Structure 1
Amino acid sequence: MLKKRIWIAAGILIVLLLASVTSSWWLPHSPTHIEATQRLHGISAHNWFGTDHFGRDVFARTIAAAKVSFFIGMAVAFIATVLGTLVGLVSGYYRKVDFIIMRMIDGMMAFPALLLALALVAALGGSMTNIIIALTFANFPQMTRVIRSAVLKVKQLQFIEAAVTTGTGPFTILFRYVLPNVSSPIIVQATFTFAKAILAEAALSFLGLGISPSIPTWGNMLQEAQEYITIAPWLSIFPGIAIVITVLSLNILGDGLRDLLDPHRTKTMQHFKRKTQLKRAKTESTKQEVI
């Protein structure tokens, strides 16, 4: 059941990614083509998701927007993962600098990630590069904390102590022994960062602080659809569904990978659930005896 859930989520994401990457080859309409005579037309065989207030095909724009969202999500997840992993490794292994690094991370995490990204984008500007920088800066502290926690556990294991005793250098210990043993939380956290980056980019674009309106993104489409939500609801329904499906699939994939890569956690949760059920059944039985 667990693997089936992972494969379904991964399959949905792969289909969306391939559809967006190859969209220029098979889409019947250009996402930027304006057809003044086709303004706000509903769903039809010619326009599967209808048209917007400029006569542009909503289906083509939804698919084209997926390419932008996936690119930003992947870029943020990759950079935040690399940066957070490096800082987390150093912080977890070197106790002398751990206090300083963690206080800086705590200061950054004192602000909600979206609020921090919003402030940075407002200061830097709304280009794609600046959005990636802002979202990376807002998300890498969480990655750092997760990796640091994992490193602190691995550092106590006997084979790490043996490596230190034999005179193995800290660089070798970190990247040859510690890093492979903290790869599971890295993969899981990267998946969640991917989902949060897509959602945050859509929120920034919706607020008018994202990518230029000339570039189709799900957030831009929702922002433009505000004025027509009562007369043309399809303008907001389909981009919204695309965001929900993508983020939900990424979260399901992340949860599935966490359970798959950490069987001890899964067994602990199952044991706790069984214990809770037995305790509840015992309590109900006692109540019935009293009655």
Structure 2
Amino acid sequence: MTNAIITTGVQTSVNKKREKVYITTIKRLLKNKLSVIGIIIILGLIFMALFAPFLATYDPVKQSLVDSELPMFSNGHWLGTDNYGRDVWSRIVYGSRISLIVGFTAVSLGLFGGIILGLLGGYYKKLDGIIMRIVDLLFSFPGILLAMLIIAILGTSLVNVVIAISVWSIPSCARIVRGSVLSIKQKEYIMALRSLGASDLRIMVRHILPNAFAPIIVFATMRMGTAILSTASLSYLGLGAQPPSPEWGAMISQGQNYMWTSPHLTIVPGIAIMLTVFAFNVVGDGLRDALDPNMDIQ
């Protein structure tokens, strides 16, 4: 009974400290102007993806050869049309949905695998060597080549792109989590919980993992930009989204043949990718600085 009371007291103290850190982090993040701009862009993309059927003015895959290659601001197509007469704005809107879903799913799966491997490797010394050698093996492949290898084995589809990017994300996440676990497990309150008989699973899930969230959140935010860019790259190479899917990388691939006559077919989705990756990167940088107690954001 006494041990349970002490354990609860330790947990309450840690939770209050963690809440204070979160509030301080949010305040610091909002002082960073670039991060605020990035947050606004991300919220705009999420809004666009959620309300795509209402924001799109045309069916994104409906062809109209009569209206092919229309310039911007013509006949109700304010971003013009592609070589098949499909409305570019509508394809950009629906493309945001594809990019965010693929990016979020791939990063989430990568985090899940990386967190498990990082927790086990950092907490159990006997497993650390085995897990880190597996991670080193995955690191021996350049990221995009590893993704291309996985897709070559599984086949071309967005589902396989998600699998490929998630596998690519696992080793980096595992390294980050392992480093945090190695540091946190030496803290006095973890030692106290262990001496009071708390199980390893309870310590890892309820005490170590929540206190390792800071680097995980930063990694996940910045990885979203990488995942979206990788999805576009693989689709550009014909290994991801297949026609007539309105994916940004596939749109660039299809529009490059008309670069001189209809440059908007390449430029518009390129700008969409650039803004999205920029937004996630600056928010990730802002979070990293905000979570650093030695960083004073002016």
TM-score of the pair, normalised by structure 2? 0.86
Which runs of at least 4 in structure 1 moved beyond 3 Å after TM superposition? Answer: none
Using the TM superposition, give the Cα deviation of residue 184 of structure 1 relative to its aligned residue in structure 2, in angstroms.
0.5
Match of residue 43 from structure 2: 14
Using the TM superposition, give the Cα deviation of residue 5 of structure 1 relative to its aligned residue in structure 2, in angstroms.
3.3
One-letter amino acid of the counterpart of residue 218, structure 1: W
Using the TM superposition, give the Cα deviation of residue 34 of structure 1 relative to its aligned residue in structure 2, in angstroms.
0.9
Alignment match of 2:118 (pick from 78, 83, 88)? 88
One-letter amino acid of the counterpart of residue 235, structure 1: L
Question: Contact 1:184–1:262 (CA<8 Å) still a contact in 2?
Answer: no
Separation in structure 1 between the aligned mates of residue 259 and residue 225 of structure 2, nearest angstrom: 26
Match of residue 187 from structure 1: 217
Separation in structure 2 between the aligned mates of residue 151 and residue 222 of structure 1, nearest angstrom: 42
Using the TM superposition, give the Cα deviation of residue 21 of structure 1 relative to its aligned residue in structure 2, in angstroms.
2.1
Using the TM superposition, give the Cα deviation of residue 12 of structure 1 relative to its aligned residue in structure 2, in angstroms.
1.0
One-letter amino acid of the counterpart of residue 272, structure 2: A
Match of residue 23 from structure 1: 52
Alignment match of 1:44 (pick from 34, 53, 73)? 73
Q: How does 1:1-291 map to 2 (within 5 A)?
A: 2-3=29-30, 4-45=33-74, 46-264=76-294, 266=295
Separation in structure 1 between the aligned mates of residue 242 and residue 190 of structure 2, nearest angstrom: 50
Using the TM superposition, give the Cα deviation of residue 2 of structure 1 relative to its aligned residue in structure 2, in angstroms.
4.3
Separation in structure 1 between the aligned mates of residue 54 and residue 29 of structure 2, nearest angstrom: 35
Give unpaired runs (5+ residues) of structure 2: 1-27
Q: Deviations over 1:217-266 (max 9, x none)?
A: 001101101211111110000000000000000001111111112223x2
Separation in structure 1 between the aligned mates of residue 63 and residue 268 of structure 2, nearest angstrom: 19
Partner SS, residue 214 of structure 1: coil
Q: What's the RMSD between the two structures over aligned residues?
A: 1.6
% identity of equivalent residues: 38
Question: Contact 1:76–1:132 (CA<8 Å) still a contact in 2?
Answer: yes
Partner SS, residue 86 of structure 1: helix
| Number of aligned residue pairs | 268
Q: Deviations over 1:183-202 (max 9, x none)?
A: 11111111112111101010
Partner SS, residue 211 of structure 1: coil
One-letter amino acid of the counterpart of residue 111, structure 1: F
Partner SS, residue 229 of structure 2: helix
Question: Contact 2:39–2:283 (CA<8 Å) still a contact in 1?
Answer: yes
